[in-house]
Chains A and B, each alone.
Chain A
Amino acid sequence: MKLLGKYVDKGMQGNVTLVPEEPEDMWHAYNLIAEGDSVRSTTIRKVQNETATGSSTSSRVRTTLTIAVEAIDFDTQACVLRLKGRNIEENQFVKMGAYHTLDLELNRKFELRKPEWDTIALERIDMACDPTQSADVAAVVMQEGLAHVCLITASMTLVRSKIEVSIPRKRKGYVQQHEKGLAKFYEQVMQSILRHVNFEIVKCVLIASPGFVRDQFYDYMFQQAVKMDYKVLLDNKSRFMLVHASSGFKHSLKEVLQDPAVVAKMSDTKAAGEVKALEQFYMMLQCEPAKAYYGKKHVLRAAEAQSIETLLISDNLFRCQDVNLRKEYVNLVESVRDAGGEVKIFSSMHISGEQLAQLTGVAAILRFPMPELEDSDDDDDDDGAAGGDNSDSD
């Protein structure tokens, strides 16, 4: 993302002008834009003209519109952001108050105006505009009969394709069927890598599986590459990396990102950092339960006592439509920072972020044990669960 202009006044009101450059920037934009903001961007509108005689012609014109956002729609697979809202600025073609849906496009600037900018939003802009954070990795997690081809970017994990093939088991006298099924499966995975992995961007391709599937696949792939002369694969042979994973399901990506060899190679990516932080939280919960809490109620209370050392919070909490609720979370983050704590905002598009979102979306590692939090739980534990359920439905 490129930042072209930023004007935020003392009352935190203001506007910024941004140019999204990569598909991932759409994700950032999705996290920035909230309902009630106004967005100005160029778009195409179908305009109907009626002549004096009554015949009408319709034409498509490119024009710049400003809308007050009412609905936001994000397609994670295609990385397209659509904003629906009413026109709020005089325009040659479009009446005031007429509805229009803006499709934000790559490499076209848009201007975002918010009635109130908070630290989370401003931070998000800094993060989005940081050019060093683009370390792209492709990962294939597989087991016999199941594979996921994923792209891991700084703030998103995108499943590009899921391959599910039922491979006959070995049985007396029918071993060929098993081997044939396996070869067919490997072929599909290889085709999917060729299709979805852009070796100009991707620095490293992780192949992860239990057992020997990855080795078998690796051998198969390069045999085929030589046979069929797949130049891309042969040129990038050094970028492939074989890692252990316990299964071919998506969430074993977590294990892959924790693998020491992988960590050494891509230590700066957000995904790996998040996995580590969540792991730490779980370890703390195991060793010292009184120093690890989750759920809004507990965490808020811990924050009051200024005891939070690390706050883990999922970004889907900031996307909620309720302005007051968002404010509450922003205040929480700010108060933790003021008290010298560390805040990690998880991307809900990553595996670990998904898990955190399921775990009420907010968790904290404390500086000192607060067993009283758990005890207070008993009398009104319905509230605690209710808090959890709310964020579940997000």
Chain B
Amino acid sequence: MSRHRIVRGMDYNDEYDGYDDVYGHSVDDDCVSPTDQQWLYDRARGQQSMSAFIKKNKNIEEEAEDDDEDDDDEAYQKARRDSENFQMPELDDIAQAKLSSCVDEVRSVVGDAVSERRIVETSMRFDYDIQKILDDILNEETNKKEKEKRPQKLKLNATTPATKSSTTPKPTPTKITLSAVKDARRGFDIASPKAPSSPNVSGRNTPVEGGDEAGRGSTTIFKVSKDQAQRNAQQLYEQERATQKSHIHMIVIGHVDAGKSTLMGHLLYDTGNVSQRVMHKHEQESKKLGKQSFMYAWVLDETGEERARGITMDVGQSRIETKTKIVTLLDAPGHKDFIPNMISGATQADVALLVVDATRGEFESGFELGGQTREHAILVRSLGVNQLGVVINKLDTVGWSKERFQEIVHKLKSFLKQAGFKESDVSFTPCSGLTGENLTKAAQEPALKAWYEGPNLLEVIEHFKVPERAIDRPLRMSVSDIYKGTGSGFCISGRIETGALCVNDKVLVGASREQAQVKSLSMDELTQTSVFAGDQVSVTLAGIDVNNITVGCIICDPQMPIPVTTRFQCRIIVFNVKVPITMGYPVLLHHQSLIEPAVVCKLTASIHKSTGEVVKKKPRCLGQNSCALVEVETSRPICIERYSDFKELGRIMLRVAGVTIAAGMVTKIR
């Protein structure tokens, strides 16, 4: 109930201070009874070493769980102690790796509610089979819950399916007041203070986060409707999307004139997304201009300028449906000057398709220093795309030569490995965008058929894995376009990075934290009532002036607003630069769709690339291929998140004079 706190005069730097420590602790840390306190290990209280604590408390008598209600608390502490005191069993390297990945996996499902020991033990018992381990742990937890029905417990286990509403809870009166007090201190559940007494209310799916976030944004508490505050995004998602095909966003990148638009245009035509009539029109018109080879590209290049010049300038969007997926195609411009547009497109993408021109000389010029094949690949990798399909295009111009194909594959493989792509996540497909060979049907051309037996392009797209969507996180949406919609109000479009958004939700817009209301939602021209992380949507907003919203700003949840800052620390990797980066170096900061002038105002330390050790404090300058901690200052406040909190929103790019000089992730926000 943070609205009862005096928030106006609060120094919220202090609030931030505890931010990191709180994560992973229980909700009731702050108000354990003094008797309980002596059994708790607490770093903050100056009990310096864990071993000292263990020695001191060697013979803690563990009480039976079912004594009475109060003992539950003790049992819970015990569980926590378990996980903190617990030492990993000694294993050989492989088993160790298996175990840790197993624990991570389980953690991501059950959260911090289950002790480490329990996970490790279960993992070892089931021989690292995630499915079985989860089953076991979850069953156990549900059983326990039914038995206990303790409010805190419930909230902590919120990620496990919250059911069993039939059995009534029987908390003692004292217990209720206690939990109410706790809630007040934490500012946990704004909309429903009585929530803990009802068993199946699980407000947010990430309880610990909730406490923190409310503390963070507590300067401005915005009221939201009860529905919005209590929504369970995951459940909603399952309800609405269970029957649908999974969505994936794919960006098509590559050097200028590699044939990206033509390839996509042809793919759209072949999959039946462009009607015969429209195609015929394009053919006739392009013939008139004497550019018949551009007829497929015109499907995506719609502006007069793009058609006249024969190059893509802004990201074109379209979608195709495969057997198992709905794929949104983002056709990026290849020209050097339009890389900012390409970056804004790439931030919305899950996977990428790299198109290279197989013609002799063309591949080389695109691949050598200064060519966009390199820069694009590095850019999408730094923007978090890790699955890449490489399309060797225009192979018909070299007579479907196997040698040429392999030569290119060889060159690209070593480069992509360097850029940080895993070999298993990269595939190579020969095809021709203009003739349509090997796009949707298996190879027909005898010359290609002779040596190629792999999948066609559509199958490659089909094989991309759908990444995890962070649906149960607070809402974040980045705005990539603002336009006048049909009817009243104006529309913004962009991608929901995390969380969910429903019609009539209240949201905060941008660095000014202006409040607005969602009037309607649409996705691919279809009206929706709710949209989820990973979706590309258009939102009609009301209650806000169009001038208060700019391309690149972030829309967020009023209860858990995004931090706004002008100065932040980040860890960057410097690419090939002509001149070194020094203090006071003016750069363009790219963050999602936002482009903002910024200054590198402090070089904190240069870091060793692989080990992360500090090589030199306060270096004078950063040269090529170095890695460093720097502070960046923007002229206007921007919305940004730490990489550790929101991966999607913690990535930045620094560019100077049309060249990407560094990519980084935000480590600290001032």
Contacts and interface: CB of A to CB of B under 8 A. Distances in A.
Q: Which of B484, B582, B597, B617 has the most chain A CB within a 10 Å cutoff?
A: B582
B550 interface: yes
B483 A212 contact: no
A174 B483 contact: yes
A145 B586 CA distance: 21
Nearest to A361: B584
A358 B584 contact: yes
Interface in B395-446: none
A170 B655 CA distance: 24
Contacts of A174: 483
Interface string B618-636: 1011010000000000000
B586 A355 contact: yes
A299 B214 CA distance: 49
B332 to A, nearest CB: 13
B225 interface: no
A111 interface: no
A196 B546 CA distance: 27
Contacts of A166: 482, 546, 550-551
Contact of B588 (A249, A359, A381): A249
Interface in A359-385: 359-360, 374, 377, 381, 384-385
B601 A358 contact: yes
B386 interface: no
A158 B592 CA distance: 31
Interface in A269-303: 279, 282-283, 285-286, 289, 293-295
A282 B305 contact: no
A388 B585 CA distance: 14
A251 B309 CA distance: 28
A166 B484 CA distance: 11
Q: Which of B338, B586, B656 has the most chain A CB within a 10 Å cutoff?
A: B586
Contact of B617 (A177, A359, A381): A381
What does DSSP make chain A's interface, helix, strand, loop or mixed? helix
Contact of B317 (A172, A175, A354): A172
Contacts of B620: 285, 289, 293-295, 374, 377
A356 B599 CA distance: 12
A247 interface: yes
B579 A285 contact: yes
Given A171-B481, A211-B337, A212-B309, A359 B579 contact: no
B305 A212 contact: yes
A255 interface: yes
A175 B586 CA distance: 35
Given A168-B482, A212-B305, A358 B583 contact: yes
B242 interface: no
Contact of B338 (A172, A210, A216): A210
Q: Which of B316, B318, B584, B618 has the most chain A CB within a 10 Å cutoff?
A: B584
Interface string B551-573: 10000000000000000000000
Contacts of B484: 168, 177
Contacts of A385: 618
B597 A169 contact: no
Contacts of B659: 246
A210 B585 CA distance: 21
A286 B585 CA distance: 14
Interface in A330-363: 354-360
Q: Which of A210, A289, A354 has the most chain B CB within a 10 Å cutoff?
A: A210
Interface in B597-628: 597, 599, 601, 617-618, 620-621, 623
Given A246-B658, A358-B599, A172 B318 contact: yes
Contact of A177 (B314, B480, B483, B601): B483
Contacts of B371: none
Nearest to A381: B618
A178 interface: yes
A255 B657 contact: yes
A250 B481 contact: no
A17 interface: no
Nearest to B344: A169
Contacts of B480: 169
Given A247-B595, A283-B579, A381-B617, A355 B657 contact: no
25 contacts: A166-B482, A166-B546, A166-B550, A170-B302, A170-B314, A171-B483, A174-B483, A210-B338, A210-B658, A211-B335, A246-B657, A247-B588, A254-B657, A283-B579, A286-B577, A289-B580, A289-B621, A289-B623, A294-B583, A354-B586, A358-B585, A358-B599, A359-B582, A359-B584, A381-B618
Interface of A: 143, 145, 164, 166, 168-172, 174-175, 177-179, 210-212, 216, 246-247, 249-252, 254-255, 279, 282-283, 285-286, 289, 293-295, 354-360, 374, 377, 381, 384-385, 388, 392
**8 closest Cβ contacts across the A-B interface?**
A358-B584, A246-B658, A168-B483, A282-B579, A210-B337, A359-B584, A211-B337, A169-B481
Given A169-B493, A174-B483, A355-B585, 13 more contacts: A166-B546, A169-B315, A171-B317, A172-B317, A175-B303, A246-B655, A247-B588, A251-B586, A294-B620, A355-B584, A358-B599, A359-B584, A381-B617
Interface of B: 302-306, 309, 313-318, 335, 337-338, 340, 480-484, 493, 546, 550-551, 577-580, 582-586, 588, 595, 597, 599, 601, 617-618, 620-621, 623, 655-659
